[in-house]
A and B are shown apart, each in its own frame.
Chain A
Amino acid sequence: MSTITQEFTKGLWKEIPPFRFVLGLCPTLAVTTSMENGIGMGLAATFVLVCSNVFISALRKVIPDEVRVACYIVIVATFVVCVEMFTKAFVYPLYESLGIFIPLIVVNCIILGRAEAFAKKNGVIASMADGLGMGLGFTMSLTVLGGLREIFGAGEIFGWKLFEAMGLNFEPFAILQQAPGAFMALGLMLGVMNVLGKLGNK
């Protein structure tokens, strides 16, 4: 049991994507203009990650090695299309604001990376724990990044004018909402994570 817990928790801190496990940067940068989008993207990716990990692990003895990547791609893409349909039907505003980054989950390297590095060698339960941990870790990162960019870039949180409500006169750093701010915020956050990691190790 303890190994399952371990597989789950490693994604939350020790190997948290995209900081420790530097993959899946495109959606990280593109959709984190708000906290809501960050959470949405993270959960969508988590769903695909868990489902594809489970299926790939369940079929790992059936899939011949030579065509494994093709099989993985079909499985991952199937779940991505599911997510596309679900979001379009049930959370339309999110579908709109994530745009082409929903279909692009299919090329998110975290998912194929986990399939190749974990699911093809491990059991179903362990793969599920791994997918869930990695997915939630990714969601956490996107949420924090999205939150920071929304608070300091637009002065809002979930569309609620934070600084106005506090009575502060704060001019948001609009650049944080745009492309350069995304890169810089992620880079600096990576630095902060490294500092925290070092403190944690001591």
Chain B
Amino acid sequence: MGNMIKMIVVLVGISLISGIALGGLNRLTKEKGEQNVLKFKKVPAVISIIEGVSGKMSEADEEKVTQELLSSYKMIDVGEEQELLMFVTKKDGKPNTIVIEREGEGGYGGNIGVMVGFNIQSGNLDGIGITTHSETPGLGARVTEPAFQHQFIGMSKDSVFKIKKNGGIIDQVSGATKSSGAVADAIRKAKATYDQHKDELEEAVK
């Protein structure tokens, strides 16, 4: 019997200490971890949109803009389970682009997360950036390259956002129809969200 009690006491003791230690550690690192998701996954995509609009930045500028974006992002309630992540980027010090993220379905390796930038004045595209994907390196993963992404800069809001093969105007990455199609899907979704919630998004810019 004494043995049994010892077993239970030791197990419970170890679990308790571990639980307390982890709880404390979690509180210390949680915020940093969450900010990292934004910093390493979302912000680089936004930066690539800014660079498409205003040209390549120096590393120091990039650092500055990153900090700015990290402190200024907004979560907009669009009546979905998850709130919509939105960034506002500036050109010459004035708000220029509304950037929202949507996921495109139908990629070769699953969904592709795409940041889509809409010009505040004209509503045309200001560019896109890929946040998450698991496409094949060298093939589908080339949707992350400037060669593919540059075509979206200044693309008219009235365009058919489909790849050429499906009757749209988007040049696909050769050999990666599915990946290109998934990006197009994300852009269509972003456009739909943008049109539907334009007022709320523009309100958030101010």
Contacts and interface: CB of A to CB of B under 8 A. Distances in A.
**Contact, chains A and B (beta carbon distance below 8 A):** yes
Interface of A: 59, 62-64, 66-67, 70-71, 74-75, 77-78, 81-82, 85-86, 88-90, 92-93, 95-96, 174, 177
Contacts of A95: 36
6 contacts: A62-B10, A75-B18, A85-B26, A89-B33, A90-B32, A174-B137
Nearest to A67: B7
A74 B13 CA distance: 11
Contacts of B7: 64, 66-67
Contacts of B18: 74-75, 77-78
From DSSP, what is the main secondary structure of chain A's interface residues? helix
Nearest to A70: B11
Interface of B: 3, 6-7, 10-11, 14-15, 18, 21-22, 25-26, 29, 32-33, 36-37, 39-41, 137-138
B29 A89 contact: yes
A67 B39 contact: no
B29 A78 contact: no
B14 A71 contact: yes
Given A74-B14, A89-B32, A89-B36, 12 more contacts: A59-B14, A62-B10, A66-B3, A75-B14, A75-B18, A78-B18, A78-B21, A85-B22, A90-B32, A92-B33, A174-B137, A177-B137
A82 B29 CA distance: 10
B181 to A, nearest CB: 24
B22 A82 contact: yes
Given A64-B6, A71-B10, A89-B32, A78 B137 contact: no
Contact of A93 (B3, B29, B40): B40
A134 B11 CA distance: 27
A153 B190 CA distance: 37
B10 A64 contact: yes
Contact of A64 (B3, B22, B37, B40): B3
